[in-house]
Amino acid sequence: MKKLLSVICLLAAASAARATNPYDKVAAEANEKVVKLFGAGGYRGAESFGTGIIVSPQGHILTAAAPFLDGRELRLHLPDGRKYTFKVKVLEPEFDAAIVEIVQPKKEVIPLELPYFDVVAASKALKVEPGTWVMALSNMYRVAERDEMMSVQRAMVTAIGKLSARRGQFEVPFHGDVLYLDTVTNNPGAAGGALINRKGELLGIIGKEFRNNQTDTWVNYAMPLNTKAEVTIKGEKKTYTLAEFVDLAVHDKWIKADPKPETDIKNPRVHTGIIFVPKVVERTPPYIEAVEPNSPATRAGLKSDDLVIYLDGEPVYSTDVFRDLLKRYNPGDKVQIEIRRGDKLTAVQMELAPLPKR
Amino acid sequence: MRKHLLIASPLFLALVAVAAAADPVKDAEQDRVKLIKKLQPAVVSVFMKEFQSDPRGRIAGGGSGVIIDKEGYVLTNYHVVAAEGMTGVTPTFVCGLSNGELYDAVTVGCDRTGDAGLMKLFPRKKGETFPFAELGDSSELKPGDWTMIMGNAQLLSTDFTPSVTFGLVSGVGRYSDFGFAEHTDAIQYDTTANAGNSGGPIFNMKGQVVGLVYGGAPGKRGNFNTGIGYGLPINTAKNFLVHMRAGIFCDHATLGATVNTQLNEEGDLARLIVNQVLEESDASRRGLAEGDELLNFAGREIRSQNQFKSALGIYPKEWRLPLAYKRLGDRKETLVRLMSYTPPVIRKGPTGPGAPPPPKPKAFGEGAKYFEERRGFANYYYNRLERDRVLANLKKLADYSNLSGEWVWTGSYDREMRGGDFTARMTEVTEPDAKEAHPLITMQIGLTDYKLEPLKQGLTSADLVEPPFTGGLLMSLYQYKRFLTLGPKGSEGDKCNHAGMEPVYVMPADGSKPKKYEEVRVWAEVIRTEHADVPAKWYFYRGDLNPQFKGKDPYPEGALIAGEVSVDRTTDPCELYFADFQNTGGKTLPHRMEVRNGDKRYAMFTIKNHQMK
């Protein structure tokens, strides 16, 4: 009798554990607390869209400090398909993050009551280590709109460490601890997405597209809620966690950190050997007139009459844009140039050389 | 004892829970390993051969596929069966199976827009059957479900054992336009897929095929793994499967209307408003007009452009599907025939005057015997094969081939509260080259006589659509008899072809409107004919296409259950629906015929007596 009972128990327990597939439910639940953000036009070739995490029932949203937030026509789509405009409340470069809020039209008197992630509680309960299975939800590539679901990816936390990365030649402003992931999560538009554990608890926010400083490879990372940044506010140095930043910003208590002195770069510090057609109009298409012998361009196989379309994935609209984009690089960087030759699109790799001495 | 047991069992439960908590991962792994072993034999490594650089043939690229039945039909991508930079489809392939053997294969059919292709493997020994994978239901997929992708990744399966990757469904119903390819209703996954995985199966954890790999998302960082790939949902491939088996080069569809997203006040949901309706479209004839709000198409709510494109982009042309829209606050529902839509091909490689025509791939091996080129078809051999199978099945129910004399049907009719007796008379038909052909169709419906000499010169369009409100019933009966007696020979210029699968909506016999069009839908194989410049479509019942009847088929297998005759291409065709099949004199014949035109019933005819000479 006892034996039989135990066998039944074993079967029941085993089948219950195996039959449930929590991923789809967990993902669907978390999806209710993530929004699709849209801005106007491409700003310097950067995306005009992103992802955000709802952090208050009234419609405060945590997202990455993306360039399009500086622009106009900010609007978002809620998970149920409703569309709202939003405005930036706080943009904090030290965290490379922003808090934005939904602007309700005046005719709507009833305050919003959205499902949200309690960031303070989640930060306190946060438990994550290398080897933790996680899920990333984001609107990468703007593939979803309105009530369509976010893209869901499974990833494993491979390491927790300081972020040391750059975009072109711009250093990442944030240098705190991040979760490194083994899946390509940091795609265009994914920044600001939610990283959750298998129970659906929020762990952090998906970062931007950056390259590792040492290896030059693209890094996939998320900022955990308890990651810290040292900020100088009115000359005084203080350390905050990301969750504290969110809490203070939502409650109008965040004082913006003092800006760091910026170094403006006027001229590219690299040499390509490409000679473009003469600039006759404001937006001269970047047709190659000639290539210097024994230059990076010759080695990459570029020829006259090639039209440059993309530099490292950034659209090159004119010869000026190409020059602007080049400012981001250091000698020795490898870039991918996509060109149109005749009717064909081709991509070539080019290693940038130091500026020749004159 | 009893007491002891009561105490022991919670303890046991706790122990068991611990044991079970440790086990599921290993169990799941074991299940997975078993599943992979079971599925491997059905996964195909596809290789192309080219003969320009080596007359004996050199392997020049490849992809993946999955066997879907024991005859060896293989589903793959269009871009596998039609290689880039070549003219037309690649006729033949060699395919490796996990038993280590190479098999000859031929391209059967394809769907360029959906990026699906169908091949057939040839057995190496007579009577050899193939291991195959079951097709699943992709509408059940949810983001977060596990998937496995198997195939010829990087063409590394040189021993033909497919490689396996494992990951999540990242999204469903995705619309994405990459410029060179537009994917509608796509499955999005984080499962790794590489070059060579194209056309390979995406399995769910029940081991059913739920999709086919299209390829990765092209990132702005070049050929960089973006962690996300897209796949064709198997339900879309199923919509085109009967077409592809019949060797058809499939077309997708458009509603014949353009739609705008209307953004109202902030916070409101989007509405999709009809912008323009093509005059010659069925949508226009069904009453869809500018300003109508689309609500639902083919059972899917339409709330965004993406959803509209995804809902529409999964169907072949000419299918009739339910459309719901709103006008002045009223919800209206109707059936709409889709129009053909084929996007322009983006040609790669040198084009223009002076450029050499792209090479044509050469057919080789066993498959070369089974490949026949024809415009509009991927491989006409299989169209003839399928068409002749349908006609042979019909012959089993009733052989009309010796009955080209006079046919007389008598019985009663029922038309909008009126009724009475009817007689239909169809005189002899002859083959097109016969000089003396004067077919005559007459009908007496109640007290009114109708007459048509369908081949007489100078008939007006009013003559052709007799009786009024039928769309041309007399012409339809003429075409019906001609098709039944002469078969393919009854159509001029090889225009009798298999036209794939279409839904047929059999309206309730009492003339009422069905609650849901889906409830009265029957799937049928279609044979297209054209005689005297009148195209027609004939619908044949096949049990295996209609699992919803659970074996209780409403029609005999292979019966001709409906017809659609287009006397005038700009107006609604005359529709015939046959029912009440009974054995009469050794023939299984219909004893009821409903005649419809537009969305209205003309009359229901009960055929009490068939006389056929």
The first and second tokens of residue A221, run together, are 């990372």
Q: What is the CA angle B551-B557-B562, rounded to 5?
A: 110
Between CA B524 and CA B538 the distance in angstroms is 9
Bridge-partner residues for A274, per DSSP?
Answer: A291
Mean pLDDT (chain B, rounded): 88
The mean per-residue pLDDT over the stretch A121-148 comes to 93
Q: What local confidence, expressed as pLDDT, does residue B8 receive? A: 43
Query: What residue segments make up the domains of chain B, in order of their start?
Result: 41-250, 252-341, 397-612
Residues B420-470: pLDDT tens digits?
Answer: 999 999 987 565 565 666 889 999 999 999 999 998 888 888 889 999 999
User: Do B243 and B383 contact (CB within 8 A), yes or no?
Assistant: no
Assigned CATH for B252-341: 2.30.42.10
Using 50, 70 and 90 to split pLDDT, how confident is the model at B9? very low
* Contact assignment for A145 to B188 by CB distance below 8 Å: no
Helix, strand, coil % in chain A, rounded to nearest 5: 20, 35, 45
Task: Using an 8 Å CB-CB cutoff, list chain A residues near B13.
Answer: 9, 13
- pLDDT tens for residues B203-227? 999 999 999 998 766 656 655 667 8
Categorise residue B148: left if φ over 0, alpha if ψ from -120 to 50, beta otherwise.
beta
Long-range CB pairs of B267-273, under 8 A, 24+ apart, other chains included: B267/A82, B267/A83, B267/A84, B267/A104, B267/A105, B267/A108, B268/A82, B268/A83, B269/A81, B269/A82, B269/A83, B269/A146, B269/B303, B270/A81, B270/A83, B270/A146, B270/B303, B270/B304, B272/B302, B272/B303, B272/B304, B272/B305, B272/B308
What pLDDT is recorded for position A333? 84
Q: Across the interface, which of A21, A108, A143 has its CB nearest the CB of B171?
A: A143
B588: which residues sit within 8 A by CB, 6+ positions away?
Answer: B397, B398, B556, B559, B581, B582
What pLDDT is attached to residue B344? 60
The DSSP annotation for A197-265 comes to ETT--EEEEE---EEETTT--EE-EEEETT-EEEEEETTEEEEEEHHHHHHHHHTT-PPPPPPPPP---
Crossing angle of helices A2-19 and B2-39, in 10° steps, is 40
Token pair listed for A139: 């609107």
What's the whole-model pTM score?
0.82
Q: Is A194 in a helix, a strand, or coil?
A: strand
Q: Which residues of A touch B171 (CB under 8 A)?
A: 143-144, 148-152
Mutation site, A25, A44, A141, A185, interface B, largest B CB count within 10 A: A141
Instruction: Report all structural domains of chain A as residue ranges with CATH numbers, in order of start.
Output: 24-250 (2.40.10.120), 270-354 (2.30.42.10)
Question: Could you write out the DSSP letters of every residue in B446-481?
Answer: TTEEEEE-TT-TT--HHHHTTTTTTTSHHHHHHHHH
**Do residues B12 and A6 touch, judged by C-beta distance below 8 A?**
yes
- How sure is the predictor about B289, in pLDDT bands with cuts at 50, 70 and 90? very high
B553 pLDDT higher than 90: yes
* Residue A257 scores a pLDDT above 80: no
pLDDT value for B220: 60
- Residues 322 through 381 of chain B touching chain A, CB cutoff 8 Å: 348-351
Nearest CA to B280 among B613, B566, B57, B590? B566
The residue in chain A having the minimum alpha-carbon distance to the alpha carbon of residue B261 is A146
Q: How far is A34 from chain B (nearest CA, A)?
A: 15
What are residue B437's phi and psi, to 5 degrees?
-135, 110
Instruction: Say yes or no to pLDDT of B349 above 60.
Output: no
- Which residues partner with B560 through β-bridges? B540
CATH number for the domain running over B397-612: 2.50.20
Q: Which residues contact B460 (CB under 8 A, 6 or more apart)?
A: none
Query: Locate tokens 């106007």: which residue?
Result: A40
At A355 the pLDDT is 84
A54 near A117, Cβ under 8 Å? yes
Poorest-confidence range of A284-298, A323-337, B566-580?
A323-337
CB A129 within 8 A of CB A160: yes
Average pLDDT over residues B116-127: 95
The nearest alpha carbon in chain B to A102 belongs to: B267
Residues of B in contact with A26 (CB under 8 A): 144
- With 60 as the cut, is the pLDDT of residue A302 above it? yes
Contact B304 A336 (CB under 8 A): no
> Sign of torsion, CA B434 B435 B441 B442?
negative
Specify the pLDDT at position B345: 58
Confidence of residue B5 (pLDDT cuts 50, 70, 90): very low
pLDDT at B3 (0 to 100): 40
Cβ contacts of A311 on chain B, cutoff 8 Å: none
pLDDT at A217: 81
Question: What is the per-residue pLDDT across B21-75, written as a single tens digit (0 to 9) for each?
Answer: 567 888 888 999 999 999 999 999 999 888 877 888 888 888 999 999 999 999 9
The pLDDT of residue B358 is 63
- 3-class SS at B163? strand
pLDDT-derived band of residue A6, with 50, 70 and 90 as boundaries? Answer: very low
Q: Which fold has domain B41-250?
A: Thrombin, subunit H (2.40.10)
Beta-ladder partners of A171: A166
Mean pLDDT across B573-596: 95
DSSP conformation letters of A294-330: TSHHHHHT--TT-EEEEETTEE--SHHHHHHHHTT--
Residue contact B143–A26, C-beta within 8 A: no
